[in-house]
Structure 1
């Protein structure tokens, strides 16, 4: 298996033809994504520009728990820190791992426009301890930040990526020998930790003409008796059950809960679907990610936290909501506090009615 993975480090697009996920030069989901057309896309853009609620962005920058390199190096194994959006810092076997590292001020191809951070990272990029590896889910700007990758290129030992995403890294200056590209259900091992690229329902591309040229994935990370799941970006699909059956139960699931909208239900989950995905995965603790950092949808910025908290409570799901920069012990998670309510203005408070979870889908 490992020999096969090494052969895929920089195979070039032609080698992806053997992937079951690839047809006619593009990667695809098991259930084809509904055609949306230019008209719908322009309608979504217009709605985002003209009908965006004021409280989709906090009134002031969010405070975070600051981290230092010394503090991280002294932390015990199996520590987890949210740094923002889908960027997580995990300490496993004495080494640090970053998921979808984005330290840029904006999730955008431009430095002067696009979604701007609600908060600074709890630790600056140049203050990080040595990073053993980076795990990437796909190539969208809020998950793959070129400036961050270029900084880390000579400072990270291993980059794990779905097919095609690794080619981008090599094009940006990452040594090809550091890159391992995986298809769904392929796995590799580093320092005794297993990393399995698992299915997701999403799409890819960074420009007008490269849509779905690279693969997207979720990840199962297995450290002996500890199993965690990182969703990346995904809509709800029956793949969660398959992952739970093959690789679960998971001690902690890091599940996308944010940037959702009825206008794009296929590629991002509603909060009820996020909780259902956790149940499908046979998760013990759920930690919602993909929220609290960028304005990428039409909902209030606090809504993902409020909705998933209500849903988790009503369905007996153990939910963890640490602050950005707060340590979580993966072996013994804690619930955290409802820190986002400290930033609510009186005019924006309201009641939350959790959406239903399909009991038949469990």
Structure 2
């Protein structure tokens, strides 16, 4: 029996190693030439990117055990009792749109932004499970998306905040790559895209505080307090970020993933006020508070960046923490009352018109 168990464990380890080193899901690391460039920044040390103030998350074996036990606990209402209903998006309504700026939320942190006749995807995660294999994560809360990738219009640009699976999905990129003109990422993330067949000339990597013009739009890569990595040994090898998207009429902020820190006020002072801000609000825990905000901090971050209207994101699609699935938005609403913050909570798939956000505030999760 001992021999059989030993052989079984060895086989599982071998299969795991083969998967780890051969599956395209894990992407690729930046080249040595790129790493030389990274060394010129003030947030890259000893072969890794670092957070401002050296904020890090080093989880002990004991805390990892606590996380695993909590994650497996099904008594905290971490997933909805039944699949969430979403609003369907009609493909013909998206084609050749020339109206005012609008957005569509796909749950978690994925958006389609239609601005100045451009179609822009933000953190396009359309997969069913935010993991390198379906057995390694829980399924999306809804049975289907508002619209499939195949029915999306031509995409002018994709903006990516970092390389974690719930923000950068291999399967989604493979389906998208032939209908996208440009990809904008933080430093190093382009290596994943290149390994998945995206031509290098379509990839634009930016460092914190760098800006680029995309026709009549400005994209600014701004700091976040997080980390990166898709495998066991690549933590911090690529940069993570938030983003500013600015047109002649609208100023938009996307937080990506971030713990609370002084960078929000710095962003607000440099680029604010913002007409609309999408700020992470979910998947938090005391064990990793440094890299994911509590909802009350989300509200303060919206104040810091000087957001006229804000929307909680990073919730409503996947179970990645131990809190109930509605807790983030409920705690945020309470904090917003104290701070007199204008919060919108649109249903997944509903159009969000920046010039009239009042129609997008409803307690659909109840």
Instruction: Please report the TM-score for the alignment, with normalisation by the length of structure 2.
Output: 0.88
Q: Is the 8 A contact 2:273 2:305 kept in 1?
A: yes
Structure 1 or 2: more helix by fraction: 2
Matches of 1:263 and 1:168, distance apart in 2: 29
Q: Alpha-carbon deviations, 1:95-147, whole Å to 9, x = none?
A: 11011001111001102331210012111111101111100000000000011
Sort the Cα spacing of 1:46 and 1:214 in 2 relative to 1 into closer, same or farther, 3 A. same
Q: 1:45 and 1:131 mapped to 2: Cα distance? A: 38
- Secondary structure of the residue aligned to 1:246 is helix
1:137 is matched with 161
Instruction: Tell which structure's C-alpha radius of gyration is larger.
Output: 2
Residue 293 of structure 2 is matched in structure 1 by: 269
Deviates most, 112-121 or 209-218: 112-121
Aligned to 1:293: 317
Structure-2 residue corresponding to 1:354: none
Structure-2 residue corresponding to 1:110:
133
In structure 2, the residue matched to 1:48 is 70
Map 1:202-241; keep pairs closer than 5 Å.
202-241=226-265
Distance (whole Å) between structure 1 residues aligned to residue 33 and residue 356 of structure 2? 41
Partner-residue secondary structure (3-state), 1:296:
coil
User: Where does structure 2 lack aligned partners over 5 or more consecutive residues?
Assistant: 1-29
What CA deviation, in whole Å up to 9, does each residue of 1:299-344 have, x standing for no partner?
1101111111121123211111110010111123224210000xxx
Match of 2:363 among 333, 338, 344: 338
Query: In the comparison of the two structures, how many residue pairs are matched?
Result: 334
Q: Is 1:93 the counterpart of 2:116 in the alignment?
A: yes
Contact 1:10-1:176 at 8 Å conserved across structures: no
Of 307-316 and 198-207, the range deviating more from structure 2: 307-316
Equivalence for 2:88 = 66
CA deviation profile, 1:238-295 (whole Å, cap 9, x unmatched): 0001000000000011000010111211000000000000000011001110000001
State the TM-score, normalizing by the size of structure 1: 0.89
Shift of 1:9: 12
Cα contact 1:164–1:213 (8 A) shared by 2: yes
User: Aligned to 2:105, which of 72, 78, 82?
Assistant: 82
Distance in 1, Cα, partners of 2:258 & 2:248: 27
Note the residue ranges of structure 1 that are not aligned, 5 or more in a row.
1-7, 342-362
Moved more, 30-39 or 124-133: 30-39
Using the alignment, how far apart are the partners of 2:326 and 2:338 within structure 1? 19
